[in-house]
Amino acid sequence: MNSVFKENVKIAFASIRSNALRTAITAGIIAIGITALVGILTSIEVFKSTISENFAQMGSNTFTIQNRGPNIRIGQRGEKPKNHPLISINQAEAFKESFEFPALTSISFIGSGAVEVKSGTEETNPNIQVWGGDKEYLATAGYEISEGRNFSTTEIQESRPYAIIGSDLKKELFGEGNGLEQVISIRGQKFKVIGVLTEKGSALGFGGDKVVIIPLHTARKMFSRPNMSYSVSVMVPTPGMMESALGEATSAMRKVRGLKPTEEDNFNITKSDNIAQMVIGITSQAGGAVTIIGIITLLSSAISLMNIMLVSVTERTREIGIRKSIGATAGTIRKQFLIEAILITQIGGLGGVILGVSLGNLTALLMNGSFVIPYDWMALGLGLCFLVGILSGFIPANKASNLDPIESLRYE
C-alpha cells in the first residue's frame, strides 16, 4: 500500500512538472486567496499585539476620569459613549486636592490633535498632537524622558513657554542633533524644548511619538474653547490597590460634581487595560468576517481547480487506460488525481502563507510593532487548501476512476 502511494505521488509530481504553466496558474489562484486571508489576519494580529504593548506601557494600575467614555467603534460595532457634563478645570483641580488616596494624580487635556510645528526652516505636517498637562502627566500617561527633564511645579503655575516633544517630532525637526534648548513654534507661539520623550509608538491616537506636551495652563490659554473638558488620570502603586482607588475616586468625583446619593454618576472612569481589551475584541470580530470572506474566495478557487482537473482527466484518458490495463485499480486512479489536486493546492497555499505573513508584517514596520508569526492562521490557511484540494479533486478523480480501460485505450 505504501509503495502504491509513493508511486501515485511520483506520478502526480511528474504531471505537475509536465503541465508547469497550468499548475502555476492554478496554484497562483489559490495563493492569491491565501495571501489575502493570511495577510489581513496577520495584520490584525500585529495590530492587536501593538495595542496591547502600547496600553501595557501605561500599566494595569492606571485609570482615567472623563466626561465621556472612549469613542472606539469600527463600523456600527462598539459601544457608543454617553455624553456627560464637561469636567471643568475647577472640578479637576478640586478632585486632585480632595483625593487623598496614596496615588499619583494628574490633570490634562488635548489642545489639538492636528497642528503644524515649526523650527527655523523646518516644519512638520499638520499631524502633531498637543497636550496640556501638569507635572504628574508624564508618569500617568506612561511616558519617560530620554533627554532633558520634566516641568517643575513653578513652570506649570507660571505657564512658562516650555515644551516636551516626542521622539518622532524631534527627528523630524532636528534630525539626529540635540533637540534640547531648541525653539519650536506652534500657531505662532514659541516654546523652548526642555525634554524629549523616549520612543513609545502609538495606539489609536493614545499618546505616541508625534506629540508636544506643554504646561497645562499654557495650553488652556492657547487652545481655549467653549466645550473644553479635562481628564483626570490616577496611577496607583500596585494593581492590587486598583479597586480601592476606583471606589474612592468615584466618591470624590461625585462630591466634586455635587451629585445626590440617588443620582447616577455623570462621568466615566476607564481603566487603560479595559480600552485595550475593547479594541482587541472589536478587531477579533473583524477577523471573523475576514475569515468568512477568505473561505468564499477559496471556494471559488476550488471551482477553478476542479474545471482544470476535469480537463486534465480528459487529456490523460489514454494514460489512465494504460494504467488500468496493467493492473491499476479504480481506487488507485482515484487517489492519484486526489493527490495531484492536493499537491497543487498546497503549493499555492504555501506560497500564499509566505506572502501573507510578509505583507501582514509590513503593518508591524509601519506601527513600530513586533514581528508576528500567526501559526494558527498559517495552519488554517494550509488546512483550507487541503480541503479545497479534496473538494476540487473529488469529481475529476471519480470520473478518472470510472473510465473503461478498453474505451480509454481507443481514445485519441
pTM: 0.58
Closest CA to 206 of 56, 60, 93, 46: 56
CA-CA distance, 62 to 140, in Å (whole number)?
7
Average pLDDT over residues 282-301: 68
Cell reading at 117: 510645528
pLDDT of the residue at 169: 92
Average pLDDT over residues 361-390: 76
CA-CA distance, 343 to 19, in Å (whole number)?
13
pLDDT of the residue at 80: 53
Q: 253-282 burial by CB neighbour count: b if 16+ within 10 A, else e?
A: bbebbeeeeeeeebbbbbbbbebbebbbeb
pLDDT of the residue at 180: 93
Q: How far are the Cα atoms of 27, 42, 297, 345, 376 from residue 302, in angstroms, in the given order?
A: 11, 23, 9, 9, 22
pLDDT of the residue at 132: 95
Give bridge partners of residue 348 from the DSSP assignment: none
> How does residue 181 score in pLDDT terms, banded at 50, 70 and 90?
very high
pLDDT tens track for 141-168? 888 899 999 999 999 999 999 999 999 9
Q: How far are the Cα atoms of 47, 57, 106, 200, 230 from residue 142, in angstroms, in the given order?
A: 19, 6, 12, 9, 18
pLDDT of the residue at 154: 92
pLDDT of the residue at 262: 92
Check if the beta carbon of residue 46 is closer than 8 Å to that of residue 372: yes
* Backbone torsion region of residue 151, taken as left when φ is above 0, otherwise alpha when ψ lies between -120 and 50, otherwise beta: beta
pLDDT of the residue at 76: 46
Check if the beta carbon of residue 329 is closer than 8 Å to that of residue 9: no
Residue 83 per-residue DSSP state:
B
Check if the beta carbon of residue 165 is closer than 8 Å to that of residue 193: yes
Helices (H), 208-271: 216-222, 242-257
